[in-house]
Structure 1
């Protein structure tokens, strides 16, 4: 009965979304205030109805209701409660339901807190947002219904994919969806602005918080996925340029460009057409990611579905919304004339360069991701594009972007002056000194480590200097007092740029200075990797809630100093008949000792692999700081009240006849 209630609520939400898509749009066109007013209550009703549907599906998973086909395929009575709950979105159908719940939630949030928006713009934004919902409701109800009953319910289920039974990946998809779907709001604002034919500073201020929230959630989601891959898959890497990894990374890059471009619209009323285009592309790449994950055209450990027919449906959604928005853009873009004029050396120019680098790097990733598919379809050749291509093609853009970021942050608007050189030259000297020191200390000849260290210092110190320059002049005591009163956006920008510097350094250090050792060890044997030593004390068998595991007991030493015990595991999930690897990690601020147990050897002993990973945690620490920067920027009062926003001349409209 509860499942039927959830199904009915989902169908009703579909109907409400259709009304929200049509009525407010006609009201805005005709100037009918009553019809425009339908948008807000419809958005609220829609999120409530989808919430009921999602709650019903969650109840089915928690209670192990094996009369539902989806629960049978993705749950088991012995599964821990956390993974019964996360199993709701650990599959194709449930994750789509989470998608539309978040989509409806964003629309409702715009309705609840959009009091500063002109009535016509608000109505059109909510109508466009509802149109996206209509497409995905149809997709769920006609191809991916999560409430299908089993003719004969079994006594137990087939269990959730063991790779998803992990805290890191349990919360990774919701954060990614908050980012993917959050970009739909930027898209809705862009399409609504194209329909109205007006983009101004107020529009730039309205669209920024939605983009910032989406970018923040994407940052957390990508970091969680990277962290999970690092400790769960057992290969010791943090990024493999997997198609699904790239699917989340591309909209992150475009969203970062959109954030910086919207600043120019808000401050100088320039780059209007470009910013609208970025808003369309950002959501377009989110839909591309959805297609990659669910169509089966590209193979990935992260993929939810392998169904080309459903992939065609998603491709149609992608074509309709992205293609339709681009067509509207081609028609309306000429009327969006820029008002601001700026010099070659200015903050506007630096932001343009920033945008170009981010967008081109996103298209480099896109090309490498889809080229194997294009080669197979067009030329009948099977190709593999792996990390060497991406590292070689993508890294130069990151280097140039990192080099100009501190300069662009401090450059004044409209026309730059020599003050920037006076402010940043100590930072440049420090970065070069660190680069030279690292080059002298490292034993190898790799340039990656010194370059990454120098760029990391340049970004982090540049963010500190940028923050200091905003306190004005005078005594340091006075300036320290003023720094606490800076707007949240200034603090957020400094944290985000500084966090990027920390991540850049962590990535470069891990790649350049990682050490590795592998050996077959009997009980009591030792494996030496650099100045570290690992001793195999014991290997035992243990049973978990829904798995059996082979567990190694290792002791790690550094130059004769005891570090602690490591307990890597190799698990087998009997129901799913699938193995997983759990790494044993001893972490510190400057390195991880990372151990993995392999199979028992025919001649006796166990295969043990040990990595020494310098500054690994700096990668995710920097990502957390970037996300905190985004969160701090969202607290800026100017975002909440849209200060300086101008309403349209006729916001109220006329009553419908």
Structure 2
């Protein structure tokens, strides 16, 4: 009976979503305040009923209710409690319910933090998100109901959760990835609401920026956790495989990064309106595309829900309807998207435009490599071909190199016009220092001339020194440097922190690719193998009994020179319910390097195959992404985004004395406190 309550709550959420998608939108069109104000309580109702559905599904897992088909297919009575809870998003039906619940949570957040916005604008935003929720809930009710029963006889036990997903990272990776993914629906709704109302001004961009920053920062964490999970769980020693299911979140992340920069230009200067709106549509479209690829059944991947392909037809139709309608509206409103102000060939606007072009080209290249095998198979009826890392790396790496060059110039440049002499004055010493140290450091440390490493270090130092130069310049307009640094806005610090994190991630990815070494060996107990400066001694294996698995655990002693360093304990597990074997890596992670052992298969006389890795700088990849996410969150907390009270149909700025002043997009922003403000 309890699962039926979850299904009933899902139906009620569907009905409320229809009302939310229709009534407030009509109210905004007719200027009916009562109908517009229905948006907030309807949104709260949708959140409540979807929460009930999600909690009931979780309860079904915890109580081992195997009469629910989704529970029977993705759980087992021996599964540890934490994985029973997280198995809610361990398969297609439950993960889509979780995805839809995330959408309702974002909708509720909009109702809480939009009190200063005009009622008609909020009504349109929530109505658009309500229509999206209609599509999601209808998809579940029609094709993917998580509460479907196994009748008349329920199985005595479940099939078990995918063994690769029985890991701590799976507890936090999907929620953060989904939350970031779904967050771009808020930005999409803001963009469509602005197109409908014809309101594409500085106030709209200011309202939109914190939502874009929040979604992008959370998606950064989701991508980082997914990379980390793949690194230590899948046993292949890598951190990114250009998997066709991994790629769509990266595409969304790149488009989101471009949109954040475009929003800044729209708010400050009233330019790039068309870029901003189109990027919002594209970012949301890529999140739907990721849903289609993951759930269509067209691909088999450790990340995919390989289900009935007919479900993909629904998602593809929904994608076409939403994005096709959005682009049609975009085309109809094109005249209103023209920039009102010009800018010189050497200006921050130009560098932001170049930044956007690089990010969009990179996204398009990844999209092409991801979809080409699917399209080829559909067109020819042949086997599914693969587009591998060489294609992606050949295109993506040079583009990111150009982006890093621009990253050092953009923050130092000025809006509207920047003289070439000013840029030379600011950056010439930076360039000389980066080139000198960037060449010297790798040569001195390796006694070689590694061109790839030199290029990486030069680019990293270029951005770092440019950041310090910019901080020095912007903090010099106060009585003391400390006072100048304190006067800088949180959005400025967020930008610098995100740039620092991006450079650290880039440097870690490049340097670990250059300097990592590996070796596959067959060792008997007592034998050893050397790799780099380390000796790995195999001491043998012992049986281990887990809560729902049995394992052989190897003991490997690592020696450097004649000095004992540590012991590693990789495992080869067998999950008893499903009979699935997995590998649990032995990893010693340090700031400058990882030691990594992956246990293979047993051989005669107690010998085991295993892979040994020494991976310098690999931790920098994930540490850098934490800085990127922290920068995005820091920008969200900037008080400038909360200084605007809004009368109906008009944005007003609240001055220090509490009086209100009309706002507009200033064609010539001024320098204040180290941050360019309008």
TM norm structure 1:
0.96
**1:569-626 C-alpha deviation (Å, 9 max, x unpaired):** 1111121221111110112111011111111124651112110000111000000111
User: CA separation of 1:81/1:604 partners in 2, compared to 1, >3 Å: closer, same or farther?
Assistant: closer
Q: Report matched runs for 1:561-572 at 5 Å.
A: 561-572=563-574
Q: 1:381 deviation in Å?
A: 4.9
Q: Report matched runs for 1:198-347 at 5 Å.
A: 198-347=199-348
What residue in structure 2 maps to residue 161 of structure 1?
Answer: 162
Q: 1:420 deviation in Å?
A: 3.0
Counterpart contact for 1:244–1:302, Cα < 8 Å: yes
What residue in structure 1 maps to residue 533 of structure 2?
Answer: 531
What residue in structure 1 maps to residue 428 of structure 2?
Answer: 425
Residue 139 (str. 1) matches residue 139 (str. 2): yes
User: CA separation of 1:649/1:470 partners in 2, compared to 1, >3 Å: closer, same or farther?
Assistant: closer
Q: 1:474 deviation in Å?
A: 6.1
User: CA separation of 1:649/1:205 partners in 2, compared to 1, >3 Å: closer, same or farther?
Assistant: closer
What is the SS of the residue equivalent to 2:149?
A: coil
Q: Report matched runs for 1:162-177 at 5 Å.
A: 162-177=163-178
**1:247-303 C-alpha deviation (Å, 9 max, x unpaired):** 110000000000000001100011111110110000000000000100021221100
User: CA separation of 1:547/1:397 partners in 2, compared to 1, >3 Å: closer, same or farther?
Assistant: same
After the TM superposition, which of the residue ranges 179-188 and 439-448 deviates more from structure 2? 439-448
What is the SS of the residue equivalent to 2:519?
A: strand
After the TM superposition, which of the residue ranges 133-142 and 586-595 deviates more from structure 2? 586-595
What is the SS of the residue equivalent to 2:271?
A: coil
What residue in structure 1 maps to residue 439 of structure 2?
Answer: 436
What residue in structure 2 maps to residue 586 of structure 1?
Answer: 588
User: C-alpha separation between the residues in 1 aligned to 2:593 and 2:374?
Assistant: 38
Counterpart contact for 1:251–1:285, Cα < 8 Å: yes
What residue in structure 2 maps to residue 541 of structure 1?
Answer: 543
User: C-alpha separation between the residues in 1 aligned to 2:414 and 2:155?
Assistant: 68
What is the SS of the residue equivalent to 1:484?
A: helix
**1:434-459 C-alpha deviation (Å, 9 max, x unpaired):** 33124524467653322222222222
Residue 458 (str. 1) matches residue 462 (str. 2): yes
Q: 1:172 deviation in Å?
A: 0.9
After the TM superposition, which of the residue ranges 505-514 and 595-604 deviates more from structure 2? 595-604
User: C-alpha separation between the residues in 1 aligned to 2:330 and 2:532?
Assistant: 58
User: C-alpha separation between the residues in 2 aligned to 1:501 and 1:560?
Assistant: 36
Q: 1:647 deviation in Å?
A: 4.8
What residue in structure 1 maps to residue 471 of structure 2?
Answer: 467
Q: Give structure 1 regions of 4+ aligned residues with deviation exceeding 4 angstroms.
A: 443-446, 644-647
After the TM superposition, which of the residue ranges 166-175 and 507-516 deviates more from structure 2? 166-175
Residue 616 (str. 1) matches residue 618 (str. 2): yes
Q: Report matched runs for 1:22-33 at 5 Å.
A: 22-33=22-33
User: CA separation of 1:445/1:645 partners in 2, compared to 1, >3 Å: closer, same or farther?
Assistant: farther
Counterpart contact for 1:458–1:501, Cα < 8 Å: no
**1:548-572 C-alpha deviation (Å, 9 max, x unpaired):** 1111100112233322110011111
User: C-alpha separation between the residues in 2 aligned to 1:148 and 1:378?
Assistant: 35
Counterpart contact for 1:466–1:494, Cα < 8 Å: no
Query: Number of aligned pairs?
Result: 648
User: C-alpha separation between the residues in 2 aligned to 1:598 and 1:109?
Assistant: 48
**1:210-258 C-alpha deviation (Å, 9 max, x unpaired):** 1111101110000000001111111100000001110110000000000
User: CA separation of 1:399/1:646 partners in 2, compared to 1, >3 Å: closer, same or farther?
Assistant: farther
Q: 1:66 deviation in Å?
A: 1.5
What residue in structure 1 maps to residue 40 of structure 2?
Answer: 40
User: C-alpha separation between the residues in 1 aligned to 2:452 and 2:603?
Assistant: 37
User: C-alpha separation between the residues in 2 aligned to 1:445 and 1:365?
Assistant: 32
User: C-alpha separation between the residues in 2 aligned to 1:135 and 1:345?
Assistant: 46
User: CA separation of 1:299/1:135 partners in 2, compared to 1, >3 Å: closer, same or farther?
Assistant: same
Counterpart contact for 1:563–1:586, Cα < 8 Å: no
What is the SS of the residue equivalent to 1:555?
A: strand
What is the SS of the residue equivalent to 2:7?
A: helix
**1:74-131 C-alpha deviation (Å, 9 max, x unpaired):** 1111111111111011111111111111111111111121112111111111100100
What is the SS of the residue equivalent to 2:94?
A: helix
Counterpart contact for 2:524–2:605, Cα < 8 Å: no
User: C-alpha separation between the residues in 2 aligned to 1:437 and 1:601?
Assistant: 47
Q: 1:465 deviation in Å?
A: 3.0
**1:160-202 C-alpha deviation (Å, 9 max, x unpaired):** 0011111112211111111111000111011111111220111
Q: 1:644 deviation in Å?
A: 7.7
What is the SS of the residue equivalent to 2:246?
A: helix
Q: 1:648 deviation in Å?
A: 1.3
Residue 405 (str. 1) matches residue 391 (str. 2): no
User: C-alpha separation between the residues in 1 aligned to 2:470 and 2:318?
Assistant: 43
User: C-alpha separation between the residues in 1 aligned to 2:448 and 2:330?
Assistant: 52
Aligned-pair Cα RMSD in Å: 1.7
TM norm structure 2:
0.93
What is the SS of the residue equivalent to 2:245?
A: helix
What is the SS of the residue equivalent to 1:244?
A: coil
Counterpart contact for 2:645–2:651, Cα < 8 Å: no
What residue in structure 1 maps to residue 88 of structure 2?
Answer: 88
User: C-alpha separation between the residues in 2 aligned to 1:424 and 1:58?
Assistant: 56
Counterpart contact for 1:193–1:199, Cα < 8 Å: yes
What residue in structure 1 maps to residue 660 of structure 2?
Answer: none
Residue 448 (str. 1) matches residue 452 (str. 2): yes
Q: What runs of 5+ residues in structure 1 fail to find an aligned partner?
A: 652-657
**1:512-538 C-alpha deviation (Å, 9 max, x unpaired):** 000112211111111100111111112
Q: Report matched runs for 1:64-143 at 5 Å.
A: 64-143=64-143
Counterpart contact for 2:518–2:613, Cα < 8 Å: yes
What residue in structure 2 maps to residue 56 of structure 1?
Answer: 56
What residue in structure 2 maps to residue 493 of structure 1?
Answer: 495
